[in-house]
């Protein structure tokens, strides 16, 4: 087990190093940021002074080595726009994004697990069919389409919910639903399939033959064993939600989180903010995947013994 944990750590470090490298190179390919956020009124001397100040005058290789040295010491540079440390700029946005992510995950688990169990238990009735129709429909609708439809319906036409900001609990409703919509549909399908696999096993028939209540058979023996598969799916889906879902939804609802910050930084070519923001999201995604692998290994003794 210790060797398996060490492999996970090494894999996480290599993944983060690759992400840092690709992000650094990709941002430099977009052009010089000085010309973007200062416009055409800058003199040649002032332009050269700013390029030297932000250490953009060296070769790509030297800039990369300087960035790595700074990153290893905790220095990720200053924002080109705010002139503040990028760590401060990004950390200010982490909590709003974390709130939205936690709300979306809670809604996803609260809705998808019961729906998946119902779809498996009543698979031959209209209940199971209705759940799967809703799941497939939700899976086919992208988050940005759902967000736009909700904005038009509940804000523009009905004037029930606010669109911009995160000041009250009403601000959470539409972004949370938009972020969790596809995830609810996917997890419902995975839960149903996992439950169907478990409910067809011999130990389930044995439990029923012993006279156990159907509720106990389904929830304790069925969902308890299907949870091993569901855990891995939840981890992967949450990682994808943190990486991509927040960028789209936060931009539509002007949510003051990391996703909206990354979009704004990309538009004005604020390299330091964009790089550190991507690193922060990558660390969260890699950490979620690593913890999911550990939880999956601990939950299934067969995996734990095979990887010991």
| Together in a domain, 51 and 180 | no
* pLDDT per residue as tens digits for the range 190-225: 889 888 888 888 888 888 888 888 888 888 888 887
Continuous segment of H or E residues that includes residue 72? helix 60-72
- Structural domains counted in the chain: 2
| Together in a domain, 38 and 150 | no
Residue 164 lies in a domain: yes
pLDDT interval class at 31 (50, 70, 90): low
Backbone angles phi, psi at 78, to 5 degrees: -105, 150
Which DSSP string do the residues of 83-128 spell out, in sequence order? -SBHHHHHHHHHHHHHHHHHHHHHHHHHHHHHHHHHHHHTTTSHHH
Find tokens 């939804």 and name the residue. 249
DSSP tag of 80 = T
Can you give the CATH number for the domain in which 129 is found?
1.10.3720.10
Residue 79 lies in a domain: no
Q: Of the residues 39, 73, 107, which one is the last residue of a structural domain?
A: 73
pLDDT value at residue 152: 93
Q: Of the residues 73, 104, 131, which one is the last residue of a structural domain?
A: 73
Ramachandran area for residue 255 (φ above 0: left; ψ -120 to 50: alpha; else beta): beta
Residue 289 pairs in a beta bridge with: none
State the average pLDDT over residues 258-276: 84
Backbone angles phi, psi at 85, to 5 degrees: -55, 135
| Together in a domain, 128 and 220 | yes
Q: Of the residues 22, 49, 73, which one is the last residue of a structural domain?
A: 73
Which of 86-100, 110-124, 213-227 has the weakest average pLDDT? 213-227
Distance CA 96, CA 104 (A): 12
Stated pTM of the model: 0.78
pLDDT interval class at 175 (50, 70, 90): very high
Using CA atoms, how far residue 166 sits from 99, 224, 255, in Å, is 10, 37, 7
| Together in a domain, 40 and 96 | no
| Together in a domain, 29 and 92 | no
pLDDT value at residue 221: 80
Q: Which domain holds residue 6?
A: 1-73
């Amino acid at each position: 087990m210790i060797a398996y944990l060490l492999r996970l750590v090494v894999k996480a470090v290599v993944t983060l190093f690759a992400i840092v490298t690709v992000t650094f190179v990709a941002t430099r390919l977009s052009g010089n940021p000085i010309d973007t956020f200062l416009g055409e009124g800058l003199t040649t001397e002032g332009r050269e002074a700013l390029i030297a100040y932000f250490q953009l005058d060296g070769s790509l290789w030297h800039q990369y080595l300087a960035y790595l040295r700074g990153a290893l010491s905790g220095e990720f540079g200053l924002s080109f726009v705010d002139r503040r440390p990028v760590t401060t700029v990004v950390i200010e946005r982490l909590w709003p994004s974390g709130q939205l992510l936690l709300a979306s995950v809670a809604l996803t688990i609260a809705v998808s697990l019961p729906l998946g169990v119902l779809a498996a238990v009543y698979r031959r009735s209209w209940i199971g069919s209705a759940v799967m129709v809703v799941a497939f429909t939700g899976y086919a609708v992208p988050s940005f389409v759902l967000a736009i439809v909700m904005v038009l319906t509940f804000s523009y036409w009905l004037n029930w919910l606010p669109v911009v900001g995160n000041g009250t609990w009403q601000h959470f409703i539409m972004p949370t639903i938009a972020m969790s919509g596809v995830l609810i549909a996917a997890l419902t399908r995975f839960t149903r399939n996992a439950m169907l696999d478990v409910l067809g096993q011999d130990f389930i028939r044995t439990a029923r033959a012993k006279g156990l209540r159907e509720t106990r058979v389904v929830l304790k023996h069925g969902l308890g064993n299907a949870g091993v598969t569901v855990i891995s799916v939840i981890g992967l889906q949450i990682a994808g939600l943190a990486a991509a879902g927040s960028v789209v939804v936060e931009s539509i609802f002007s949510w003051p989180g990391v996703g909206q910050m990354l979009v704004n930084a990309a538009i004005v070519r604020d390299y330091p903010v964009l790089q550190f923001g991507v690193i922060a999201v990558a660390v969260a995604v890699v950490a979620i995947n690593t913890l999911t692998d550990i939880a999956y290994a601990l939950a299934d003794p067969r995996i734990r013994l095979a990887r010991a």
